[in-house]
A and B are shown apart, each in its own frame.
Chain A
Amino acid sequence: MTTAHVEVRDHAADRVDLAISGEIDLSNCTVVRDQLFAAISNRVAAVRIDLSGLDYIDSAGLRILFALADRLRLLQTSCELVVPPQSPTHKVLQLSGLDTLVTLTT
């Protein structure tokens, strides 16, 4: 069973700090999307998501991040994804083209 955990680390008035750990694939991407979207209110101006604890992400998982990035761009909210070079999903995120929409911090 694929499991992921979405954690709200810090929720200030204008920004939210999140972390996703575990694995995201086709089987749990909807659950992860709902949790992720629910954690972000429309008042924030900046979203930061730490992915260093994420062990696996496939294109279904990337779709969530793309959808989120699209939505945040519409809301004029900045989005930053933290993926250190040694983290398991670093390469996939680098290759995904997400860096055209959000800031990838290594």
Chain B
Amino acid sequence: MSTAGPHLSGYARPMPKSVDSDDAEDRLRRIEAITDTTLGELDVEELLHQLLERVMAILTADTATVLLLERDGRHLVAVASSGIEEEVRQGFRIGFGEGFAGRIAATRQALTIDQVDPTTVVNPILWQKQIRSLAGVPLIAGGELLGVLHVGAVKRVGFTDQDLHLLRLAADRVALSTHAKLTRVEKAAASALQRSLLPARLPSVPGLELAARYAPGEGGGISGDWYDVFTLPSGWLCVAIGDVVGRGLTAATIMSRLRTATRAYALESRDPSEVLTKLDRHIRAFEPDTMATIAYAMWEPSLRRMHISLAGHLSPFVAPPHEPPAPADIAVDPPVGFGSRALRRRTSTIDVPAETLVLFYTDGLVERRNRSLSEGIALLAGSFTGKTAEELCSAVLSGLLGSERNEDDVAVLAIRARELPTLDLEVDAVPESLAQVRAALRRWLPSAGADENEVGELLVVVGEACANAIEHAYGPVGGTVRIRLEPRGPDVLVTVSDSGTWREPRGRNRGKGTELMRELSDELSFEETASGTTVHLRKRLAARSKDQVSGGPAGDGAWVPADGRAVSRAVSGAVSGAAGEQHGETRSDTPSATPESEAPS
């Protein structure tokens, strides 16, 4: 094996001092032609492949390969190759500083060898392909080492200084384009990942208005901000907002894992501080050297109370109706992953009366280099306007970001606990629908303020009304039953209607249903018209009566259990004595109430 110069076999030669200019320029133009025109539309792999083909042709080489430095900075991986595609297919990987390519990366120096064997080259594919000479140069962009480009020749012996010079020029082009592409790809991946993790659609919860905004920062790279809203099978609503320290794809990836972990722990616990304690343990075990701030809140099914734990996160703003907005005055514990060991965490409980606006946000909203955090929070209080959750989001973003360039990402999540909307259901008039009606009621009633006993009682009352319609209203053709529940003042008003004609009940032990309905409601009436039968009933809820400090028809019709029951007993005794159901005429248990005026419209 001969060598081209007075060098140790296979090792670096000094760079050429001059180049045959005409020929070089001609060749260079051919490289530029590729890099400048076609590149824009190609993805990284395709771009590298095209460049390698051209480099190989220009240098009359048999192989050309690009290895890129891995994220860990300790390995090079073959990502594109012409001539020895096996390298890429087999995912060839070499340690930084090892073998031919590793040495180029470590020294950041060009290198040629004319002896390819296990002593100079790690990759067996190169010996097997009977490569005799190799020339390689580092890929450097913006002072950052990206990888190595090398070419190999089977028959030709030795690469000239001019070849090496051309290779360097080609490498510069490759490095610049690759760098730009990789940056774009990473950015795109990070933002795609982040977008995929933010809820595409906020959950629809009766009685709750949700709105959120995510404003990406212009400081370069995605940061690890996220928010999440989800309901649990138990009826609780969970809200999380957080910020992973760091930027880019790494922060976005960690964020995705924290989000998943939070959801998993949420299923297992009703205590936010416990969820964050577990998350803290999770981050310590699986994401070392990572820290994140999180606000995690769990809303009771009634949506009138929120339990919250803060891990180094800014306290949400709370604005009850007719009160100025202010950050909730609650305990703040350290971020998750902070410090050398897990610390005790605390949960605070906040009452959320109807129409209260709550705003969760990440620090990017209020933090600026040129002003203090408390100034930012004061500004937020000043911008806290709007009636709906959507209006609030728009107002705070326009107030705090405006047209200003925001360095950091900003996430905001606004929640308004509404007065509960009416529940409207229409089910087939078949016995199988009864379970479906109960499921809907079990979700809705707690939001209306019904306690466990009241839920149980209303299930029976509404269930009986539905069962009556199912059993008596229709012939074999069948029909539907419509159920409507409406919160009004201290009461829940219920109507159950069908469009059939009730027949007389048959069988023994009938009449129990109506009796139960009377016993368990505060007012009951049947209204039969040509177009069908409607059952109206009213039930007072203890929690709603407490909330209604003023206004509403309090007193009138207030349910006094002992007396009420005594009266009802007498009435229902008569009913069961008559062994028949009391429909077919409008009537009411409450002597003072006139059915027409009390009946919900």
Contact = CB atoms under 8 A, between A and B. Distances in A.
B498 interface: no
A58 B543 CA distance: 25
A43 interface: no
B519 interface: yes
A92 B464 CA distance: 12
Contacts of B510: 63
Interface in B511-553: 512-513, 515-516, 519-520
B460 A97 contact: no
Interface string A24-58: 01111000000000000000000000000000111
B117 interface: no
Contact of A27 (B435, B460, B509, B520): B435
A58 B520 contact: no
Contacts of A91: 453, 456-457, 520
Nearest to A27: B431
Given A26-B431, A27-B435, A91-B456, A63 B509 contact: yes
B434 A2 contact: yes
Is the contact region of chain B dominated by helix, strand, or loop, or is it mixed?
helix
Categorize the interface residue count of chain A.
20 to 34
Nearest to B576: A97
A26 B463 CA distance: 9
A23 B459 CA distance: 12
B463 A27 contact: no
B512 A96 contact: yes
B509 A56 contact: no
B442 to A, nearest CB: 10
Nearest to B513: A59
Contacts of B464: 58-59
B432 A58 contact: no
Nearest to B514: A59
B470 interface: yes
A60 interface: yes
Nearest to B462: A58
Contact of A56 (B438, B471, B512): B438
B341 interface: no
Contacts of B515: 59, 95, 97
A88 interface: yes
B508 interface: yes
B190 interface: no
A74 interface: no
A56 B459 contact: yes
A58 to B, nearest CB: 5
Nearest to B470: A26
A26 B434 contact: yes
Contact of B435 (A1, A62, A63, A67): A1
Nearest to A89: B456
Contacts of A57: 460
A26 to B, nearest CB: 4
B456 A58 contact: no
Interface in A60-106: 60, 62-63, 66-67, 88, 91-92, 95-97
B467 A58 contact: yes
Contact of B516 (A23, A26, A95): A95
Contact of B431 (A25, A59, A66): A25
A95 to B, nearest CB: 5
A27 B576 CA distance: 24
Given A59-B464, A97-B576, A66 B520 contact: no
Nearest to A88: B456
Contacts of A25: 431, 434-435, 463, 467
Given A62-B512, A67-B508, A96-B512, A1 B467 contact: no
Contacts of B576: 97
A91 B516 CA distance: 10
B457 A62 contact: no
Interface in B430-480: 430-432, 434-435, 438, 453, 456-457, 459-460, 463-464, 467, 470-471
A22 B460 CA distance: 15
Contacts of B435: 1-2, 23, 25, 27
A97 B573 CA distance: 10
B125 to A, nearest CB: 63
B467 A26 contact: yes
A48 B438 CA distance: 28
Contacts of A97: 512, 515, 576
A83 to B, nearest CB: 13
B513 A58 contact: yes
B470 A58 contact: no
A57 B459 CA distance: 9
B583 to A, nearest CB: 14
A67 B509 contact: yes
Interface string B23-41: 0000000000000000000
Q: Which of B434, B512, B520 has the most CB of A within 10 A?
A: B512
Nearest to A57: B460
Contacts of B516: 58-59, 62, 92, 95-96
Contacts of B471: 26
Contacts of B457: 91
Given A56-B459, A58-B463, A97-B576, A27 B432 contact: yes
Contacts of B470: 26
Nearest to B518: A95
A62 B520 CA distance: 15
B520 A95 contact: yes
A15 B323 CA distance: 66
Contacts of A58: 434, 460, 463-464, 467, 513, 516
A24 B512 CA distance: 15
A10 B520 CA distance: 35
Interface of B: 430-432, 434-435, 438, 453, 456-457, 459-460, 463-464, 467, 470-471, 507-510, 512-513, 515-516, 519-520, 576
Q: Which 4 A-B pairs have the closest CB atoms?
A: A27-B431, A59-B513, A26-B431, A59-B512
12 contacts: A27-B430, A56-B460, A57-B460, A58-B513, A59-B464, A59-B516, A62-B516, A67-B508, A88-B456, A92-B460, A95-B516, A95-B519
Interface of A: 1-2, 23, 25-28, 56-60, 62-63, 66-67, 88, 91-92, 95-97
Given A91-B520, A92-B520, 11 more contacts: A1-B432, A2-B432, A2-B434, A25-B434, A26-B467, A56-B456, A56-B459, A56-B460, A58-B463, A60-B513, A95-B519
